[in-house]
Copies of this chain bind each other. A is one copy, B any other.
């Protein structure tokens, strides 16, 4: 596979439309995000300080947004690691396939919204770090 590195993970600044009755951030397929959104999911009711176990994808691109609160994402391409803090609703972290990612240090009340380029497919997940390493360096 194409050797994706942590430098291929980027923070996207989305538009923020300000208004008396709240701010709006719009995200359109192939405009603010580089793919068509086939699935979204959001994580909520997360106990403050909690971490979530890491995994990687073979094909699925993901964009992570802290629509409320904050959390950190530890990115790992099998060689290098990078940790990114996400703490604004108008920033999205683009994680291409081939990156081991782990969310940690959720603030109380944090909500993590994920936009995915693929529908759910268990075959697309790599859930063992050793398998990820051999997948990257095969």
Interface residues of A (CB under 8 A from B): 20-29, 31, 37-47, 50-53, 67-68, 89, 106, 109, 111-113, 115, 119-120
Contacts and interface: CB of A to CB of B under 8 A. Distances in A.
B120 A44 contact: no
A27 B45 contact: no
Nearest to A106: B22
Query: How many copies of this chain are found per oligomer?
Result: 2
Given A50-B22, A52-B22, A40 B115 contact: yes
A21 B46 contact: yes
A27 to B, nearest CB: 5
Contact of A24 (B28, B42, B89): B42
A45 B89 CA distance: 10
Contact of A89 (B22, B44, B52, B89): B44
